[in-house]
Each structure stands twice: as structure tokens, then as C-alpha cells.
Amino acid sequence: MTIAQVSGDTILTAQAGYILLAIFSVLWVSLGLWWGRKAKSYDGFSVAGRNVGLALATATAVATWITSNTTMLAPQFALQLGIWGALAYCTASFGLFAFAPMSGRIRKLMPNGFTAVEFVRQRYGRLGSIPFLIISLFYAITWLVSMTMAGGKLLYVLSGIPYEVGMTVVLGVCVLYTLFGGMYAVIGTDFIQSLIILIGLVVVAIAVLTQVDITEVHHTLQVERPMLLDVLFPAALMALFNNMLFAFGEIFHSNVWWSRAFAMRDGIGPKAYALGGLIWLPVPIVAGFLGLAAPALGIGISQPDTVGPLVAATLLGTGGALMVFIVVFCSLASSIDSLLAATGDLIVNDIAEPLSRSPVNDLIKRRWSSYAVIGLGILAWCLAIPNYGTLATVLFFAGPMVGSCLWPIVGGLYFRWASPIAACSSMVLGSIVGLIAYFTIGWFTASLIGAATSGMVFITTSLIWKDNFNFASLASSSNSELAGPEARLEPVE
């Protein structure tokens, strides 16, 4: 599939694109190797020795959440859904705020934990952990594919580098430094990437505001696309709540965030995630303005998820294209590496180790982690190469499943009465109903409907089949294959 461009000429030459690509590829791989020197043991590779401080913890939260979805989907939301579209993406920061206290509880309940699936397995047994593992893997792969696609699209739009080449290099670089450095490399590079992203976004925002007349943008939208300014735009309102619940479910269930909670020093998680949410909050507004400006500038957009980079590069010329290239490349790398490391942990801890018939030592788990990262990279490449759909349609296909995990996680962390039957049924039914909505109504409703269905099923089922879980058992039975059934007290009548 060929990606159409605004015009026959790109902002950057292919040569300039290849040079930038080479520079940042060498930089990230080198930094990953440097920071990954400590990742000799499995504990170091997967959770960075559980000793990450506030500065690095905040930076990795910000960098991971400023994905290509933020820098490319926020403008797409604004272009298609108007003012509410840009604000809808801002609601994703609420997920970080809500996860802040949860991260502290996770660290307290499971001081030696590794993954979110491990918690669900110990809390709900196999009945809850099997659907949760399937959803976690499906979502992680979907997010990974969308990031890989974004890399190929960005390089093609800005410099004409073929989609297949761009996405291959971006993914390959992240696989390399994650493979050798694990969580140490991921968090270390995230710190540098977060600084580059934030500085770049500020520079782009100031430069764009000096070139665009906001009054003219508003007038053009009033005349040509008045629905984008309508505060009662139905699709936009649904997208607002859909994106918020998607973000809650995404952060609450994803091992990307749980692995960081386990990696941070005791007491750091709540502060780091709260600060990360505050820093991230204005980013979608800045990015979303680019989408609103496109009609006033007369820029034709054939691929809506490329509107942000195209507007910035068109307005600011070569310098703007360079800045956009750097910002989005960093945001891609900071998310892809996190997904590779966190999803590799799921494969090792929650699939390979439980299925192993012989004892698994630290050296074997470290080797398995390398195999998992390589395998995930190959799988993502195979799924991204056809370039199906936009980033929104690809990512939000997992929305109903993500939203259906929200209530089992919250209930499992805070309430003893949350039962395995409730967890399993709410995840399964919420996912099914949400997927039906995805295909019959639209992607902008799927997470909302999936989460609402899951919530009703979870509460109703828990009232019928109550549990009485002993939270103290989580710390003593960390990393055991089956803690769920044995950790229960007498059932509550």
C-alpha cells in the first residue's frame, strides 16, 4: 500500500532522512549498550534492580506516554473531531493520575513481582489470568504494530524514505538496544528522549503560533467545517469518554506500567506517575492544534494520521521537518522499547516459565528474554508491513478488551470480595460487546461500551459469587504459579 503525500516533493531530501536515521540509530544503540551494562541478571534486565529514582521514573513515564499516538493521533483527532478531539486525547493523563496511588499499592502488595499477569494469576487464579493474558498480549502487539507503522509513515511523509525501510530501521534499532540492555536501557534512553521530545514540542508550538493566525483558523473552521467547533458534536463527545476509559484500561492493565512500578524504589511510583501526568497533559493540545490548522492552510491530507507532521513541516520548512522528525522518532523509540521489554517479561514469566517442566534459573530466564524480544520484533514487522488502516483504527481495535480489564484490576487491588468468576466473565463479555460496537458503530465508541459492560458484569457477578481474598498472601507467594485458590479465606456468604 502506498501512502499518498500532500505534494510530489518531500520537505526533507531522502539523503537528509537517511543521515538523521543513521545518527539517531547509532545514538540509541550506543546509549542502550552503555546503560545496559548492569542488565546481566534477569532481575536487572526486567525491573532495573528495583532501584529507579524519581527523576528517571518521571522521565520514563512521560516518554512512554508521549507516543507517536500522541504526536500523530492527537492532530488526527482534532482534524476529524474538532476541539473535543484534541481535548479527548488530554483525558489520557487521567490514567496516569489514577495509576499513581495504585503503583504504590502494587509495590507494597508484591515487592518481588514482575508482571501484571502474575498479579492476576495470584489474585484470581487461572480463571482470571487466562483471558487477561490473552488481552494483554493482544493489546501489546497492537500497540507495537501501530508504533512501527507510525515510524514508516513519518519517514515517508517527511523525507520520502520508503515505508518498508523506515519501519524496519525504527523497529530494528529498538530491538537491538532493548535486547542488550533491558529495562536499564529502556529507562536510560527514555530520560534523554523525554527531554528532546518536550523541548522539541515547545519549539514547534512557538514557531507554529508565530506563523498561523488563530483568528483565521477559527474563521475557516466556522465556514468550512462548523461541526468541528460544535460543543455538542455527538461523535466527538463519545470519543472524549471513549478515549478516557481506553487510557484508564490501558494503563491499569498494561505491563508497560506495572513493570515500571516494580522497577521504582519504594515510595517513588505515586510521585513519578503524578508528575508524569502533569507534564504530559498539555502535549496533546499542542499537537492537536496542528490538526485544526490544516484546513485554514489549505493542506490536503490523504492520510489523517500524518496531518501533524505535515502541517509542522509545511509551515516551518526544513527546520520544522527536522524538529518533527527528531520529536516523533524519539517518541516512537521510547514506546517501542518499553513494549518490547514489558511484553517480553509476560512471555517469560507468564507463558514460558509456567509451562516449563524443569526448574528455571536466572540465566535461563535472561536468555529467554532475549529470544522473546527478537520474536516480538519479527512479529511486529510482519504485521506492520502491509500498512492496513490508520493508527487510530489499528490501536483502538484493542480498546474494548483494554477497557474490560479496568474493573477486575481495580477490584482485585482494593476489594477482598472481587471473585475469579467476576473477573473472567467481565473481561470476556466486555470484550465481546465492545468489539460488536467497534464494527457496528465505530472505533470511537468501542472502549466506552466495553468498559461499561465489563463494569456492570463485574459488580453484578461479584455480588452473586463473593470472594474473601487475603492480600497478605501476595507478598509471600510472589512469582508462584498458583496462588489464587490457596490465598482465599472462608467464602463470604
CA dihedral 443, 197, 204, 158 (to 10 degrees): -70
Q: 321 vs 172, which has greater pLDDT?
A: 172
Q: What is the pTM of this model?
A: 0.84
Whether residue 95 has pLDDT greater than 80: yes
Interval 277-296: pLDDT, tens:
999 888 888 887 877 787 77
Interval 340-379: pLDDT, tens:
999 999 999 999 998 887 888 888 998 999 999 999 999 9
- Quick one: pLDDT at residue 172? 93
In terms of Cβ atoms closer than 10 Å to its own Cβ (0-12, 13-18, 19+), residue 72 is buried
Q: Does an H or E element contain 251, and which?
A: helix 234-253
> Tell me, what amino acid is at 114?
F
| d(C-alpha 239, C-alpha 246), whole Å | 10
Mean pLDDT of the chain: 83
- Quick one: pLDDT at residue 122? 93
The residue-averaged pLDDT of 403-427 equals 95
- Quick one: pLDDT at residue 137? 93
* Neighbouring residues of 355: CB distance < 8 A, sequence distance ≥ 6: none
Which of 4-13, 307-316, 390-399 is predicted most confidently?
307-316
Whether residue 56 has pLDDT greater than 70: yes
Is residue 131 helix, strand or coil?
helix
Domain extents in the chain: 14-389
Q: Which CATH class is domain 14-389?
A: mainly alpha
> Tell me, what amino acid is at 13?
T
Name which of 263, 272, 261, 311 is nearest 63 in CA terms.
Answer: 272
Which of 245-249, 296-300, 393-397, 407-411 is predicted most confidently?
407-411
Pair 243, 447: CB distance under 8 Å: yes
